[in-house]
Structure 1
Amino acid sequence: MDSCSRRLMKELQQLSTEPPTGIICSRDIASDDLKQWRVEVVGAPGTLYEGERFTLQFRFSPQYPFSSPEVMFVGQNIPAHPHVYSNGHICLSILADDWTPALSVQSVCLSIISMLSSAKEKKHPIDDAIYVRTCNKNPNKTRWWFHDDTV
């Protein structure tokens, strides 16, 4: 078993046996080859997304954890959020430039729950239509321009 598979097995075991609040793991979280996972996240109490369930798809390259996983929202319920495009792509720095091997599936899910929790209104990014029409299908091949939400 290679180092990527060992790491994924360890993360899968931890996430399945001790999922943090807001993360739901079903029996079929991972495909047979461990390189693709689906994890449900639930909007935190007291937020715009309270109780809403969203599905995240994780795809791992053989270089994981030294390269970030491809993570996006999938299914019928894609959250309307200033950092989530209507095609499910997520603009989050830890999925791009700020990725480090110390991060995990669990920490990514918790960061996404935190990102959803900080939303002040439900809306997609202002460039959603153009982005969705012109983007690469793989969000990891996107060059993100991270903006300051306080402006």
Structure 2
Amino acid sequence: MTISFPIYISKLFTSFVKQLASEQIQKYFFFSNTQASKATMSARTKRIQKEWANVQKDKEINNMCSVGLVGNNLDEWQATIFGQPGTPYEGGLFNLSIVLPSNYPFAPPKVTFKTKIYHPNINEQGSICLDILKFKDKWTPAYEVRAVIIAICSLMNDPNPDDPLVPKIGAEYKNNRSSFEATARQWTMQFALP
């Protein structure tokens, strides 16, 4: 079977055009995605820089804790919460790790206590039972790290025994508050005093 030259050229040309078009489309989408990614990273970085600057001058935050960066990395923050007077945590310094994921602010930061604390909503690994950190549908990009820090400070001072991360401590808080407070004070003295 012989193929006529014009048909062969036509098929070859059609194949070449399809391949060229495919390559151009791929290049266009790669370029567009790369540009979008850079723009997103730039907006993310600007947002985090702004949040960082706001936290540094926020008097409410500075009365409850100190906040710093790990090195100069805007994605890794550290905070030290001051145990408030009148609580079993009084006088303690409680260190937190705050890591902003690559998709922040569309996902919440990963926050963990590095200092052991006896609390119904904080387990021995330092995980925190806080709705905005625990449930994706409770987090919104409108929240900032500042709001998370304030919520954690509030949770420290006012535990939620009805949604405990450590049920045994939650039950103790509800049923035998004096025992809870004595153990929490003991842990504060053992693990959180400067």
TM-score where L is the length of structure 1: 0.71
Give how far 1:32 is off: 2.8
The letter of the residue matching 1:81 is H
Select the structure of larger CA radius of gyration.
2
1:12-47 Cα shifts (integer Å, max 9, x gaps): 111122242202124xx2433311111111122222
Give how far 1:95 is off: 0.4
Give how far 1:9 is off: 0.6
**2:66–2:81 Cα contact (<8 Å) kept:** yes
Which ranges in structure 1 are unaligned for 5 or more consecutive residues? Answer: 129-148
- 2:129 aligned residue: 91
In 1, Cα distance between equivalents of 2:151 and 2:72: 26
Cα RMSD for the two superposed structures: 2.8
Of 166, 171, 179, 1:125 maps to 166
TM-score where L is the length of structure 2: 0.57
- 2:94 aligned residue: 54
User: Which has the higher relative contact order, 1 or 2, with Cα contacts under 8 A spaced 6 or more apart?
Assistant: 1
Of 33, 42, 55, 1:15 maps to 55
Distance of aligned partners of 1:2 and 1:30 in 2 relative to their CA distance in 1, 3 Å threshold: farther
- 2:184 aligned residue: none
The structure in which a higher percent of residues are helix is 2
Aligned pair count?
Answer: 126
Other structure's SS at 1:64 match: coil
In 2, Cα distance between equivalents of 1:80 and 1:64: 29
Distance of aligned partners of 1:119 and 1:127 in 2 relative to their CA distance in 1, 3 Å threshold: closer
Identity %, equivalent residues: 29
The letter of the residue matching 1:51 is G
Which ranges in structure 2 are unaligned for 5 or more consecutive residues? Answer: 1-40, 176-194
Distance of aligned partners of 1:33 and 1:119 in 2 relative to their CA distance in 1, 3 Å threshold: closer
- Matching of residues 1-151 of structure 1 within 5 Å: 2-19=42-59, 20=61, 21-26=63-68, 29-74=69-114, 77-97=115-135, 98-119=138-159, 125-126=166-167
1:57-106 Cα shifts (integer Å, max 9, x gaps): 111112111111111011xx221100111011111111022111121111
**2:121–2:166 Cα contact (<8 Å) kept:** yes
The letter of the residue matching 2:67 is C
Distance of aligned partners of 1:12 and 1:86 in 2 relative to their CA distance in 1, 3 Å threshold: same
In 2, Cα distance between equivalents of 1:7 and 1:120: 31
